[in-house]
Structure 1
Amino acid sequence: MRKLIMGIVEFREKMLPQYAQQFSKLALAQTPDALFITCSDSRVVPDLLASTHPGDLFTMRNVGNLIPPATSEGVSTGDLSEASAIEYAVLVLKVANIVVCGHSECGAMKSVFSRNAKLKSPNLDKWLCHANNAAFRLEQEGPLDDRLKAHDQLSQLNVLVQLEHLMTYPIVRQQVIAGALVLSGWWFDIATGAMYAYERTSRSFEVIDRAMAERMIARLAARAR
């Protein structure tokens, strides 16, 4: 807690002067380009990993980067917090992109994979059921990358399952079909610091280096035409 408190002081004394004008503008409105859905894990820091600034990302974080699917009426089958963030991002902020970002060594995925009942955590157990389809897919279809540890294999498949859950929301599906919204699946390897993006053509997560980034941006530009 001391580190957290002193970090606030350091920001106030050293960083705030650089951001003062930006915060003044952001106080009136925000226009983020993307909704970034990721895990609560302390090792995953979206603004650091994407070199973004205040106002760039609308971020939703929870254990396991999970999105409870919606009914045909668009009502969440799980916690309303995630559904509310999706609705606000799409309907109010009108983001053009939604990214679901999983990561290596995810505690949530380890729990789903091991089915550990020793924690006596009924709320967590109920929440993690939204990753059960990913576990089933791993068992039935196998991993995207068999070089990874089993829980990391699950983590990658979980990203794809949560993208499918996103598409159960009518407002998301309508915007995607209209070409106004793009869904992307990313995966962060904590050990190497590398970010990967899922490529449907290769059915694999590929590292986002400069060449990959240029291809991704070109595809986005083509869709915007």
Structure 2
Amino acid sequence: MKKLIRGLLDFQLNARPGYRDVFTKLAKGQSPDCLFISCADSRVVPNLLVSTDPGDLFVVRNVGNLVPPSDAHGHSTGDQSEPAALEFSLKHLPVEDIVVCGHSSCGAMKAVLAGGVGPETPNLAHWLTHGQAALRTLRDGSTVGEGLPEYDRLSQLNVLQQLEHIKTYPLVKERLEAGTIRLHAWWFDIAAAQVHAWRPALGRFVPMDELVGEALLRELGGAPAPGGDEHTHNGVTLRLTAAAGGR
């Protein structure tokens, strides 16, 4: 707590003047274009990973970056917080992209792999049931994440599974059919400080380097000009060269 208080004082005394105009504008409202769902793990810091400013991301964090699926009537089959964030962001904010970002060495995935947690944590035990579908996929012989520790393979599969859960919600279905929302699966390798993006054509998560960044930007309609160009997506500026091929 001492570190937090010192950090708060540092912000108030040193950083706040530089952000005063930003927060003056944000006080009138927010207009993030991305809903970012990540694990509550302290080692995963969304705004740091994508170099964003206040107001750029609508962030949901929980144990295991889980999203309970919808039932046939559009109601959550589990906790309502995550679906509420989905509904709010899609109905009241200019969100065009949803990112689910898992990570390496995830304690939630290790617990799911180990068969759950004890009765002394009943809420956590119930919450982790939303990771069971990914575990079944792993047990059925999925090749996603081959070569990684089993808990990291499960973590990657879990990201993909949560996107499937997200697709069960009526608002998401409507936006997908209209082509006004995009879903993205990311995975953060903590030790390497490297974000990986899911590439369906390759059937695996690929490190987010310049080549992958170029491919993703092309999919978003941001192809580089001949000779190279700079593109910014979610606050990240990439220097792209014409010689770099997409994946």
The CA deviation at 1:141 is 2.4
Q: Secondary structure at the match of 1:59?
A: strand
Superposition deviation, residue 120 in structure 1: 2.6
The structural deviation recorded for 1:72 is: 2.1
Q: CA deviation at 1:87?
A: 0.3
**Which range moves more in the overlay, 181-190 or 211-220?**
211-220
SS at match of 2:59: strand
Take 2:147 and 2:106, find their aligned partners in 1: how far apart are those partners?
17
Partner of 2:182: 182
Give me the whole-angstrom Cα distance separating, in 2, the residues matched to 1:163 and 1:49: 20
Q: Structure 1 residues 116, 170: CA separation in 2 closer, same or farther (over 3 Å shift)?
A: closer
**TM-superposition CA deviations, 1:64-86 (whole Å, max 9, x none):** 00000001221111111111100
Residue 196 of structure 1, CA deviation? 0.5
Describe the superposition over 1:17-62 as per-residue Cα deviations: whole angstroms up to 9, x where unpaired.
1111010000001110100000000000001110001000000000
Deviation at 1:210, TM superposition (A): 1.5
Structure 1 stretches of 4+ moved >4 Å: none
Shift of 1:117: 3.8
Match of 1:127 in 2: 127
In 1, distance between residues paired with 2:145 and 2:40?
24
State the alpha-carbon separation in 2 of the partners of residues 72 and 94 from structure 1: 26
Equivalent in the alignment of 1:15: 15
Alignment partners' CA distance in 2, 1:120 and 1:109: 19
For 2:122 and 2:50, the matched residues in 1 are separated by 34
Task: Kindly indicate whether the alpha-carbon contact (under 8 Å) linking 1:69 and 1:78 is maintained by their aligned counterparts in 2.
Answer: yes
CA offsets 1:138-180 (integer angstroms, 9 cap, x no match): 0002341221001000000000000000000010011011110
Q: CA deviation at 1:118?
A: 4.0
In the other structure, the counterpart of 1:55 is 55
Gaps of 5+ in 1: none
Identity over the aligned pairs, expressed in percent?
Answer: 47
- Shift in Å, 1:14: 1.2
- Which residue number in structure 2 is paired with residue 149 of structure 1? 149
Q: Is this contact kept in 1: 2:145–2:152, CA < 8 A? A: no
Shift of 1:211: 1.7
Which secondary structure state, in structure 2, belongs to the residue aligned with residue 21 of structure 1? helix
**What's the counterpart of residue 98 of structure 1?**
98
Q: 1:142, 1:172 → 2: CA distance?
A: 26
Q: Judge conservation of contact 2:40–2:63 (CA < 8 Å) in 1.
A: yes
**Secondary structure of 1:221's partner?**
coil
Between the aligned partners of 1:110 and 1:158, the Cα distance in structure 2 is: 12
- Report the Cα distance in structure 2 between the residues aligned to 1:193 and 1:169, rounded to whole angstroms: 32
CA displacement at 1:94 relative to structure 2: 2.9
Distance in 2 between residues matched to 1:36 and 1:178, nearest whole Å = 21
Decide whether the 8 Å contact of 1:143 with 1:157 is kept in 2: no
Q: Are the equivalent residues in 2 in contact too, given 1:31–1:93 (CA < 8 A)?
A: yes
Query: Using a 3 Å threshold, how does the CA distance of structure 1 residues 187 and 176 change in structure 2: closer, same or farther?
Result: same
Matched residue count:
222
Whole-angstrom CA distance in 2 between matches of 1:7 and 1:219: 39
- Structure 1's 177 and 5: CA in aligned 2 closer, same or farther, altered over 3 A? same
Aligned counterparts of 1:115 and 1:108: Cα–Cα separation in 2: 11
Give the TM-score, by structure 1 length.
0.96
| Contact 2:163/2:183, CA 8 A, preserved across alignment | yes
**TM-score w.r.t. structure 2 length?**
0.88
What are the ranges of 5 or more consecutive residues in structure 2 without an aligned counterpart? Answer: 223-247
> Quick check: 1:72–1:170 contact (8 Å CA) kept in 2?
no
Matched position secondary structure for 2:186: strand
| RMSD (Å), alpha carbons | 1.1
